[in-house]
């Protein structure tokens, strides 16, 4: 009896732990017909989940919707500022099959992953969206396996910022730009920089280099294609420029902000960055280039280069009970009026082609016409459910190649193998 008394707590510990483990081991799986088939006609209150509303766009938008739909109120659930935390929060709520996460804002690079997990409602039948007015490249970011899983809401593309006092006409091609670097060298400033530190930004920049040279990261069948001659030429462009000093040495530590500060301090002639730089470089007290910079599309082989795409899509959870309301809300988010609010209120680039030619908007956001060219030639980052691993394969190997530690040929061969090992075949 004494022995059993002593063992009782131990046994209890074990039992509780086993029960808890068993409870949690419900696995994620293909939910082709289950939750995706229910709640399609449901109407009622829904929740919209998005990261921190820094520029106060979502709250007025939700208020407008709620005034018009008293029986289908939208509650805005605000997540944190950090993309990683937003991703983790969404994953946890999907795993818990939370029916209260009806519509959520999904980063373009997460869309395929969530779709493959069976968490996103395919936008078919009654949920279908008219995409004819949208930029085609943004629709691609929301499409996985030929099925549309989300509505593009905001987008983002790369722009070439240049010093118009040093270079009156911007370069149209990469070779032309490299030729202009003698001007920068004479002025003892850096010539070109993007985001070359080893993080997501390097994936964006490497993908742009590869796509602009005519290569691809993944083929249409989802298989790795980085050992093609064009793909190698793209990365070689960056490696050569770094080796001969056209890309300054310190650019290997640049993320968006470091590059912006260097450009604003007049230490760079060309900078590849996102549209947000425009307002800051124009208005920052410390900016030395307020009047002397301009914008152009990224340079390519013969014409504009292929920008990578940023931005967010909005998707409906398969666990939502009010999918009819949710589908209406997606249409509302992509309507002209709301898209205008995104750009004028939050400087978030719209996904409707027509808005880029709107003179009133262009007057307020002069980067729009340039961004339009950039987005028309844009290529989405690889749409794959293994995006984090594919991105790591690209950035790790590109980093070594740009720094000159690994020859481009070898780096690309390794990148190919690493993407295959990532599960993308």
Interaction site with other proteins (CB under 8 A): 1-2, 5-6, 8-9, 12-13, 16-18, 20-21, 24-25, 27-32, 84, 87, 91, 113, 115-118, 144-145, 197-199, 249-250, 252-253, 258, 261-262, 265, 385-386, 388-389, 392-397, 399-400, 403, 406, 414-415, 417-423, 425
Buried-exposed string 269-300: b where 16+ CB fall within 10 A, e elsewhere: bbbbbbbbbbebbeeeeebebeeebbbbbbbb
Return d(Cα 324, Cα 194) in angstroms, integer.
Answer: 43
Residue number, 284 or 396, with CB nearest to other proteins:
396
Q: CB–CB of 94/29 below 8 Å?
A: no
Helix (DSSP H) and strand (DSSP E) numbers for the chain: 17, 11
In the bound complex, what is the minimum distance in angstroms from residue 117's beta carbon to other proteins? 5
Write the CB contacts of 24 (distance below 8 Å, at least 6 apart in sequence).
none
Residue number, 167 or 413, with CB nearest to other proteins:
413
Residue number, 9 or 125, with CB nearest to other proteins:
9
Return d(Cα 326, Cα 305) in angstroms, integer.
Answer: 37
Return d(Cα 74, Cα 338) in angstroms, integer.
Answer: 15
Return d(Cα 174, Cα 303) in angstroms, integer.
Answer: 9
In the bound complex, what is the minimum distance in angstroms from residue 146's beta carbon to other proteins? 9
In the bound complex, what is the minimum distance in angstroms from residue 30's beta carbon to other proteins? 4
Residue number, 40 or 261, with CB nearest to other proteins:
261
Residue number, 309 or 419, with CB nearest to other proteins:
419
In the bound complex, what is the minimum distance in angstroms from residue 420's beta carbon to other proteins? 4
In the bound complex, what is the minimum distance in angstroms from residue 190's beta carbon to other proteins? 11
In the bound complex, what is the minimum distance in angstroms from residue 53's beta carbon to other proteins? 23
Q: In 10 A of CB 250, how many CB atoms?
A: 14
Residue number, 271 or 370, with CB nearest to other proteins:
271
| Closest listed residue to residue 247, CA positions, set 299, 188, 190, 196 | 190
């Amino acid at each position: 009896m004494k022995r059993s008394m002593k063992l009782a707590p131990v046994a209890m510990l074990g039992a509780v732990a086993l029960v808890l483990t068993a409870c949690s081991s419900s696995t994620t799986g293909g939910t082709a017909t289950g939750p995706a088939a229910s709640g399609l006609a449901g109407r009622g209150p829904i929740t919209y989940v998005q990261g921190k509303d820094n520029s106060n766009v979502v709250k007025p938008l939700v208020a407008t919707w709620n005034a018009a739909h008293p029986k289908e109120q939208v509650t805005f659930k605000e997540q944190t500022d950090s993309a990683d935390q937003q991703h983790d929060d969404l994953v946890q709520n999907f795993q818990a099959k939370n029916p209260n996460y009806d519509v959520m804002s999904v980063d373009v690079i997460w869309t395929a992953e969530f779709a493959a997990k069976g968490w996103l409602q395919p936008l078919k039948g009654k949920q279908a969206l008219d995409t004819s007015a949208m930029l085609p490249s943004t629709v691609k970011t929301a499409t996985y396996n030929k099925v549309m899983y989300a509505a593009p809401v905001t987008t983002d593309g790369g722009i070439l910022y240049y010093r118009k006092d040093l270079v009156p006409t911007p370069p149209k091609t990469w070779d032309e730009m490299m030729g202009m670097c003698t001007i920068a060298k004479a002025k003892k400033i850096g010539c070109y920089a993007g985001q070359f530190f080893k993080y997501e930004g390097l994936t964006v920049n490497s993908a742009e280099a590869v796509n602009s040279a005519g290569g691809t990261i993944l083929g249409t069948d989802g298989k790795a294609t980085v050992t093609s001659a064009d793909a190698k030429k793209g990365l070689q462009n960056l490696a050569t420029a770094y080796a001969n000093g056209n890309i300054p040495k310190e650019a290997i530590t640049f993320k968006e902000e470091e590059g912006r500060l260097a450009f604003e301090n007049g230490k760079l002639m060309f900078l590849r960055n996102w549209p947000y730089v425009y307002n800051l470089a124009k208005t920052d007290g410390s900016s030395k280039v307020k009047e002397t910079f301009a914008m152009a599309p990224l340079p390519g082989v013969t014409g504009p280069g292929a920008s990578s795409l940023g931005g967010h899509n909005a998707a409906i959870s398969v666990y939502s009970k009010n999918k009819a309301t949710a589908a209406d809300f997606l249409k509302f988010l992509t309507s002209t009026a709301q898209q205008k609010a995104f750009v004028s209120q939050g400087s978030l680039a719209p996904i409707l082609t027509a808005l880029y030619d709107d003179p009133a908007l262009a007057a307020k956001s002069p980067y729009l016409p340039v961004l339009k060219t950039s987005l028309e030639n844009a290529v989405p980052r690889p749409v794959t459910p293994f995006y984090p691993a594919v991105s790591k394969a690209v950035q790790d190997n590109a980093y070594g190649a740009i720094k000159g530690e690994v020859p481009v040929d070898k780096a690309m061969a390794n990148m190919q193998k690493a993407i295959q090992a990532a599960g993308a075949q």
